[in-house]
Amino acid sequence: MKTKALYIVVIINLLFLAGCWDQRELANVSLAIGMAIDIGENDKYQLTVEAINPAELNEQTTSGNAPTVTFSLEGNTIEELGQKMNIGFSKIILYSHMKTVVLSKEIAEKGMLEFLDFLERSREIRDDFNFVMVDGGKASDVLKVLYTIQKSSSLKLTRQLNTGAKIWGLDPDIRLADFVNAYTSMGRQPVMVAVRINGDPKKGATVDNLKKSELDTMVEIDSLAMFRDETLVGTLPVEETRDYLWTQNRVKSTIISIPCEQDNYMSIRMTKSYTKIKGDIQNGRPHIQLRLRMEGYMSGNQCNNPLNQPSTYVKYEKLAEDYIKERISKTIQQVQEEYGVDIFGFGEVVERQNPKKFKKYKNNWDEAFQNAQIDIEMDVKIRRAGLVSKGPLLRNK
């Protein structure tokens, strides 16, 4: 009986002594939804945090004030700044729901990505937020541009990047984990999406921006930023981002317009695409074989080719194969010649398939990549013609 009583006393005391140490009552917490990192004027970094005002994001409680509040501080480490945010903010800032981290172009050009260590180490921050570079302007401005639907800039940006990657292949939807994996890999160089602010950042930062149907300021997907280790080497335009994604087997669906006559185009909605890569090194030169299989249906036809005839499909499939092949090889060639960084991860493929041969090139793979021979094999299948076989253009004749 005495021991039992003792146990109970111990257990109750344990609750009081050991409990609550990491308690954060929801009412005392502000969610940081985005982070922007610029170069500081006096210190190494300037950190801007976008915290949300939850009442504004709820239909019932909204009163028309700004949905987010941002605050910037300068300092030498992101981790310390993150905890010092209460110089401006009132509540404990919670970073676990952070959706985007925006870097300024200067940071990327100077390769000041030392904060990667903190981002990966922190137990609070996840590794699945979008990593974004802003091309031109301050990174902090991106966080301030409000958007009508998601309200918060970071929420909008993460949704936008997610959708863009799924629907057309506009951006690679790079998360911290992807970036770090590429950064640490011997056979791959990291990329991230670059966005730009279209319009006046000052106007975008007011609730007035939300009251227009044509927003004064918008954050738009700009290009694909390529890195050599932590330093920015250049960007590829959006159209070529898709070519990049094709090589990565990451295009879920897309639509592609291909010239079939002078000034007339036909378009295929690709619903499936698979990419297989084989990599080898022969006579000191990497040989990369890409095999792409795509399936889709006709979504538009401006040319005088009736779609109720098999010959049209054969013709269009051939056109599409040549067109896409041309695009992809041009993009790869451009990266090889102009930037010389293996963003495609061909090195990883070679390492996986011929690990012994790769060992020799491990430390200077990018050089080997620059004179790699790329073979592309295309196989496009057009399965259906949509709702009509002869379109109105043909029926009109």
> Binding residues for other proteins, per CB under 8 A?
15-16, 18-20, 22-27, 29, 31, 33, 52, 54-55, 57-58, 60-61, 94, 96-97, 99, 124, 126, 155
Pairing of strands 29-39, 45-52: antiparallel
Nearer to other proteins, 19 or 392 (CB): 19
Nearer to other proteins, 52 or 294 (CB): 52
Residue 122 Cβ vs other proteins, minimum distance, rounded to whole Å: 12
Nearer to other proteins, 126 or 250 (CB): 126
Provide the b/e sequence for 56-67 (b: ≥16 CB within 10 Å).
bbeeeeeeeebb
Are the C-beta atoms of 281 and 368 separated by less than 8 Å? Answer: yes
Nearer to other proteins, 173 or 348 (CB): 173
Residue 52 Cβ vs other proteins, minimum distance, rounded to whole Å: 6
Pairing of strands 130-134, 100-104: parallel
Separation CA 146–CA 218 (nearest Å): 8
Separation CA 119–CA 79 (nearest Å): 8
Separation CA 78–CA 309 (nearest Å): 62
Residue 5 Cβ vs other proteins, minimum distance, rounded to whole Å: 14
Runs of H (alpha helix) within 299-396: 310-334, 346-353, 355-361, 365-370, 392-395
Nearer to other proteins, 34 or 164 (CB): 34
Hey, what amino acid is at 212? K
Residue 75 Cβ vs other proteins, minimum distance, rounded to whole Å: 25
Nearer to other proteins, 7 or 274 (CB): 7
For tokens 């949905």, name the residue.
67
Provide the b/e sequence for 73-84 (b: ≥16 CB within 10 Å).
bebebbbebbee
Residue 22 Cβ vs other proteins, minimum distance, rounded to whole Å: 6
Residue 15 Cβ vs other proteins, minimum distance, rounded to whole Å: 5
Residue 30 Cβ vs other proteins, minimum distance, rounded to whole Å: 9
Nearer to other proteins, 31 or 380 (CB): 31
Nearer to other proteins, 16 or 263 (CB): 16
Residue 26 Cβ vs other proteins, minimum distance, rounded to whole Å: 5
Residue 53 Cβ vs other proteins, minimum distance, rounded to whole Å: 9
Task: Report the run of H or E that residue 282 belongs to, with start and end.
Answer: strand 264-282
Runs of H (alpha helix) within 32-175: 54-57, 78-84, 105-110, 116-121, 139-144, 153-167
Nearer to other proteins, 33 or 37 (CB): 33
Q: What are phi and psi of 47, to 5 degrees?
A: -105, 130
For residue 233, give every residue at least 6 positions away whose Cβ sits within 8 Å of its Cβ, in sequence order, or none: 226, 227, 339, 340, 341
